[in-house]
Every structure is written in structure tokens, then in C-alpha cells.
Amino acid sequence: MGTTGILILMLLLMCIFVLSSINYIQNQNIESQANDNFKYIIDDYSTNLEVLGRESIAEATEKVYNGLPVHDSEGQIKKNLDKHLNMKNEEFKDKYDVDLSSEVLSVEASDSPWKVLFKVRLNGEKDNERFSQIIERNATIEGLRDPLPIAKLTIVSGVMAYDDEIHYKTALSAYMLLHDLDSPESYIEATAPMTIKKCPYDPYVHHGDPGVLDDCLDTGYFHESADGSCYLCRLEGKGKCPHYGMEVFIQPHTPLGNESLSCSDHVVFADHYNGEKIDPNDWDSLILDSSHRKKYGLSDYGNATD
């Protein structure tokens, strides 16, 4: 074969390549066009999923606040959400003339403690065209109530929720007495924030800066914590869990200066180690161990100036 032969062969190969590429791109277009036909429906549905997912979590929280236990938060929220989505499917039938069926696949902790991840399989049919897609959406838990104190201690313990605060009354002291923990009287009348708000003072070492801790406690912020439990486990009354979670300070109001439990809620409800008041002269002082002092930049708190 001469040079001309090789050239012709190469030209032929190139033609085959170009033709098959064009064919491939066309197929892709047809497929994405089919998805495009449903895109507006799927987008609308996803937006609804975010809202209804949060609503379904809030209903589980309401159950806890009504004094009923939630043993399987994922199962409970799935059940709530299935109900909402079935109604949404009917609504979409009227709105878009599409036949939808949905199945909640999972409700799980996400890599952010402030968000819960929902996965739903959505099947649809319209004008003899079908689709099936898994939709994933995060719903925020900010603005929901913290279920842990009620779920952990139960409503009969006397713990109360009003004025956007958890009022422990004698419930926490009774719990500490029961678990043989030091100085339970330090936590009589202790309080904690009720509504979940993410602390903006990040990195947290800034809590040692002037005025920051006061503002954090006044507003009632929650903090990220690998040791604290996630929202789904809080619903089940777990002070600790394998997921990345959050912690909140339980603020004592006492003149007592005894060593007692460090006041981060995962320590009070699960880890059970002691700390000391960061300002011995302040009735409202937090009781903290050295690692939490370090995390929040409070190691020198109370010893500063005056």
C-alpha cells in the first residue's frame, strides 16, 4: 500500500469517528430533551420537598413537645412526609396533568448539623412519556425547637418550655441525683435556649472577645460539635450520636461555686464530666471544663483586667 492508500484509510477512519460522534450527540440531545420536558415539574417538586421535609420534622418535634416519645425519628418523619407528598402528587395532577408517585427513600443527618437530607424517588407519566428520578434536598432545622431536653427528661420531669427558653426547674437536678453526679443543686432552675439558632461567632474562640459570650447567651445560640448529637437523634432523646451534631450551653443560676457537670448539653446528658464556673463571682456563670474553655476562647475568662 502506498502513501495515498494510507491517507485514504485515515480519511475513512476520521469519517467514521465524526459520524459516530454526531450520532452520539444527537442521542444525548433526545434524552436530555425528554428530561427537559419534565424539568419544570421536577424543579417545582424539589422546592416543595424542601418545605414539606421541614414541616415533617417540625411535626415530629411537636409530638415530643406534646409528651409523646419518638423512638425512630427517621421512620416517623418518613411517615409524615409520605402523607404530605401524596397530597402534593394529587395537587400536581391538577396543576400539570401529570401522574406522580413518590417514595421517601431516606431521611438522614447531613454533613452539616443545621440540615437534614431527604431522598425521594419520584416517578411520573404524562402524555405517554415517563420519567423516574431520585430527588435529594436539604431542609434546614434552624428555627425549629430543640427536642432533646423534653425527649431526654420527659414532660413528667417538670421541665418546661416558655419565653423561648427551656426551664429545667428541678428536672435536671433530679436527673443528676439519679445518675449520682456531683453537686446536682447547681442546676436547679437552670435554663437553655429553645429555638435552634446557629451561632454567628465563628471561629468559636471569639467567645472570649469582649461582649461576645454575653450576646451568645442572651440570644441563645447553638454551636457545631462533633460530640453533640444531631437533630434526628435529639428527637429520640439521645445526648450523643455518631453523626456530626451540635451543642448548647445549659446556663446555671446559682451562687454555689461547687465543681459540677460541665454545662455543654452533650456533657450533661451523656458524657458526664465536671467543670468549674468560668467566673466564680457570677450567679449566671457557665460551668465549663478546660477543653470547652479552649474551644470557645474562654480559658482566661474572669481573670481578665479588673
Residues that bind Zn ion (CB under 5 A): 199, 201, 216, 221, 230, 233, 241, 243
Contact 246, 233 (CB under 8 A): no
Complex with Zn ion: residue 169 or 206, whichever CB lies closer = 206
Cβ-based nearer residue to Zn ion, 192 or 216:
216
Residue nearer to Zn ion on the CB measure, 196 or 199: 199
* Cα–Cα distance for residue pair 260/185, rounded to 1 Å: 9
- Rounded least distance, CB 72 to Zn ion, Å: 13
Q: Which is nearer to Zn ion, 150 or 241 (CB)?
A: 241
Q: In a 3-state reduction of DSSP, which class is residue 58?
A: helix
Rounded CA separation 59/132 (Å): 28
Whether residue 80 contacts residue 59, with contact meaning beta carbons closer than 8 Å, is answered with: yes
Alpha helices by DSSP H, the chain: 3-65, 73-96, 148-153, 171-178, 212-219, 231-235, 265-266, 290-295
**How far apart are alpha carbons 216 and 222 in whole angstroms?**
9
Contact 258, 184 (CB under 8 A): no
Give 258's contacts (C-beta < 8 A, 6+ positions apart).
182, 183, 185, 186
Nearest to Zn ion of 188, 230 (CB atom): 230
Read off the C-alpha cell for 59.
411535626
Radius of gyration of the chain (CA): 28
* Shortest CB 213 distance to Zn ion, Å: 7
| Residue 187 CB, nearest approach to Zn ion (Å) | 20
Contact 293, 274 (CB under 8 A): no
- Taking the complex as a whole, how short is the minimal distance between the CB of residue 230 and Zn ion, in angstroms? 3
Beta carbon of residue 116, minimum distance to Zn ion (angstroms, whole number): 10
Q: Closer CB to Zn ion, residue 113 or residue 184?
A: 113
Which one, 131 or 222, has the nearer CB to Zn ion? Answer: 222
